[in-house]
Structure 1
């Protein structure tokens, strides 16, 4: 979309191991499934001794070329991803900035920090387990004798590693996803609580500050610009307003933002709008014209152009494949 008058984006059945009682809405189960365009992914849930939610969700995408996931939600928690299939093309973004790109092998593990508004690109068929660990649960586990004292996980963003214990826990849980009722709920609780304690003891540590990129905006400036664009994602915000809030010139704002995120402010805003559109497109009854209007694109044609450029297929083809996947899972 063109920037007019220096204005950005101005546009005209889950199984739960007997845990049906759980009604929380963290990044697991149905909510996490929506980020990947999946309905009713199987999920197992438990609680810590102090009642903090733990969960593991099994996600499967049987086709290649899925593209960018929808937003997973920003919260004070981690996702531990156990990759049951390898990926030749994978990328992870934090707050609109690419932090990890490359291939990973089957059996590898990586950590996603949900505080950083994560989005991933998936190029190959996917089969993974996503363990949901709130930092509150890690703090509780860290208070146990012999555990570390921090609620952060000291792992590099998106960096894959091998861990036999995480892999063993995942493979032990896999058959339980297909079981009926809550016969294995005690085992699920034991394994998820054990994983939480293990992560706190083995990977707990102080959160490392991201290195400052030379020529990029200061962290507070980048956060300010992103916050303003999020808050006005529908009507748009001018580059001059962003620059004034960050106390720099328009040129310095554009150069610094792109240096730090790899995207211009305009491109970053379009990516956030596309994330919202992907979430809405999971509803087969929502028209593309309405979706385009609701997320800030000028019209359906504009949405289609941006979508095709980013995803490699048109919105209609993407929705058709999503519907076919849903029928195949039924």
Structure 2
């Protein structure tokens, strides 16, 4: 999917504003998530969604009773979708729904090329197809939790760490490949961590980009390994995901900057790679337990 996918999906569902996040967490294809909401739909079938070799997973953020689903021009189900449930759809099969009630959901876009790259990282066969019942809702707790992590990012994309987005969307892809595509992780992925030189290179690269944005694929490339393996190996070696490690480094740097009374909190945020003062305050409070202003006042006392 390209950055225009969110717009295309919005147009198919007659929604003007469809915020989307696109990332190349996979080394060969973009994955994305789009938020779709309509409170006053007109009773009609959705417009055509371009057929392609890809899947999308819908996570319902609002109850959707008596939802009629269609594939290849024929009705395949009529069922209730409850908030927190998911449904899977194959874009090769021209999925469509009869729209007649308000709806709100996240649509995860997963090209087959991305799923195959994930399988290749796991030393597993390509994903031939996903196992799902057309139109049916499933109570997938993992999809629900991962989706809830992305909702704030869709509202405030300028305040989100690209590493975090890569990490979450890659986790969605891995989960779908395992749960619905039958993929099994290779044994070396389960036990392996970063080699000492890879750990050193990864942390050096992240620190060098502490003020800017850096994608997961860029750090993985510096270490000479795939994105999927890097994400797992980094967590296994350092105990946290790459995006969380980078936030901790930014907070540590902000403590040094806060000792300089000549810097405002807004200046500190800029110097440490946060989008603004409120972004600094949230991250600092989550990591340290108090606001940066309170920490500075305690330091002065």
Given the two structures, how large is their TM-score scaled by the length of structure 2? 0.57
1:73–1:43 distance in 2 versus 1, CA, 3 Å: same
The residue that corresponds to 2:95 in the other structure is: 118
Report the secondary structure of 2:78's partner residue.
strand
CA deviation after TM superposition for structure 1 residue 24, in Å = 5.1
Report the secondary structure of 1:155's partner residue.
coil
CA deviation after TM superposition for structure 1 residue 31, in Å = 0.6
2:150 to 156, 170, 173: 173
CA distance in 1, matches of 2:78, 2:18: 26
1:140 to 102, 117, 122: 117
The residue that corresponds to 1:209 in the other structure is: none
197-206 or 50-59: bigger deviation: 197-206
The residue that corresponds to 2:27 in the other structure is: 50
Report the secondary structure of 2:101's partner residue.
coil
CA distance in 2, matches of 1:23, 1:137: 13
1:34–1:169 distance in 2 versus 1, CA, 3 Å: same
1:32–1:172 distance in 2 versus 1, CA, 3 Å: same
The residue that corresponds to 1:271 in the other structure is: none
8 Å contact kept, 2:130–2:181: yes
8 Å contact kept, 1:74–1:115: yes
CA distance in 2, matches of 1:51, 1:144: 12
Structure 2: 5+ residue stretches without partners: 184-301
8 Å contact kept, 2:51–2:92: yes
Q: What is the number of residues matched between the two proteins?
A: 183
8 Å contact kept, 2:118–2:173: yes
1:187 aligns with 2:160: no
Structure with bigger helix share is 2
1:59 aligns with 2:36: yes
CA deviation after TM superposition for structure 1 residue 180, in Å = 4.4
CA RMSD of aligned residues (A): 2.1
CA distance in 1, matches of 2:29, 2:6: 16
1:40–1:66 distance in 2 versus 1, CA, 3 Å: same
8 Å contact kept, 1:147–1:201: no
The residue that corresponds to 1:128 in the other structure is: 105
CA deviation after TM superposition for structure 1 residue 65, in Å = 4.8
Deviating 4+ runs (over 6 angstroms): none
8 Å contact kept, 2:18–2:36: yes
Map 1:78-93 → 2, pairs under 5 A:
78-93=55-70
- CA deviation string 1:206-252 (max 9, x = no partner): 9xxxxxxxxxxxxxxxxxxxxxxxxxxxxxxxxxxxxxxxxxxxxxx
Looking at both structures, which has the greater relative contact order when contacts are Cα pairs under 8 Å and sequence separation is at least 6? 1
1:164 aligns with 2:144: no
- CA deviation string 1:148-196 (max 9, x = no partner): 6424211111111001110000001001111142632211111001110
Structure 1: 5+ residue stretches without partners: 1-21, 207-330
CA distance in 1, matches of 2:157, 2:79: 38
